[in-house]
Amino acid sequence: TTRASGAASAQEKSSSPGTRAGPVGGWLGQPRTPPPPPPPPPLPPSSRRSQRAERRRDQPGSERRTAMATRLQFENNSDIGVFSLLTNAYCLVAHGGSENFYAAYESELAEHIPVCKVSVAGTRLAGRLCVGNKNGLLMPHTTTDQELLHVRNSLPDSVVVQRVEEKLNALGNCVACNDYVSLVHPDLDRDTEELLADVLGVEVFRQTVADNVVVGSYIRFTNQGGICHPRTSVEDLDELSSLLQVPLVAGTVNRGSDVVGTGLVANDWCAFCGADTTSPELSVIESVLKLRNAQPSAIVTDMRASLIDSVS
């Protein structure tokens, strides 16, 4: 009886106002507050990056930035145009060397165009022995059947690949072209000139650049613009701009090298230059080739004005 009365008095105490309930209860007469939900699990790094990218895209004025020029080298050699060829439809990269050289092209281009490892005439000089654009590719007559077949199988069906019987077999040194116009060595064979017009679909002009006949080594231009030998006169720049119908500037690559055709490869949305290229040189390249969302420099504006005047 004593134990029962003690339990009853304990129950009365617990039911009196202002007293606390047991360890699982709240204040008497108030609903029990549910415990807070557990925190969500942390997002993986890739999801966090994608969310940040979405927020940046949603911000006003956050338009997608265009590609910039990339610096790289081939086995400690900054003359990357000797070992690679880039167009709007494909990219050829020499076999061998560091895997980073091929990976640099693949990371920028693989989603858009094929990047193919090739050899030409048993060498790695793909950029100096071949010339091409989005319509076709010309290779020297020393190219083996196996090499020719590999290139044809690697490139899109719309690209015509053909060998050329030409004594000046370093076609990349003797020809510079975009998708519409080409400049060629003054002594190039007439049959080769016809092949350029037929296979690449370009208009051909026999021309020199700053009195140099190997035009492919001293000028690099796309459908957007171009850069040529630093000692090219203003008159020659005007003439070349009129022929090519794109703005041109005189400049250098690889810390002052005037052989811009071997130190730079580019298409309409991407460019690669030698690792020795300085920031001012890189800025000129990106501006004249229109690779970034920036106003063209004053010299580009002047070249465009002179082009319009000469055409009109």
pLDDT at 293 over 90: no
Q: Are 178 and 223 in contact (CB under 8 A)?
A: yes
In a domain, 205, yes or no: yes
pLDDT at 17 over 60: no
Torsion of CA 280, 282, 286, 288, to 10 degrees: 60
More confident residue, 255 or 10: 255
In a domain, 35, yes or no: no
In a domain, 96, yes or no: yes
In a domain, 6, yes or no: no
In a domain, 269, yes or no: yes
Alpha-carbon distance of 251 to 282, in angstroms, equals 10
Q: What is the CATH number of the domain that holds 78?
A: 3.75.10.10
Position 275 scores a pLDDT of 95
Listed residue (122, 180, 113) closest to 147, CA to CA: 122
pLDDT at 269 over 70: yes
Position 99 scores a pLDDT of 84
Q: For 142-163, how does the pLDDT look when each residue is reduced to its tens digit (9 = 90+)?
A: 999 999 999 999 999 999 999 9
In the predicted model, what is the mean pLDDT of the chain? 81
Alpha-carbon distance of 91 to 112, in angstroms, equals 10
In a domain, 79, yes or no: yes
In a domain, 51, yes or no: no
Type of residue found at 191: D
Least confident span in 184-193, 210-219, 234-243, 286-295: 286-295
pTM for this predicted structure: 0.72
Indicate the number of domains in the chain: 1
Q: For 115-138, how does the pLDDT look when each residue is reduced to its tens digit (9 = 90+)?
A: 999 999 999 999 999 999 999 999
pLDDT at 278 over 80: yes
Question: What's the domain range around 169?
Answer: 67-311
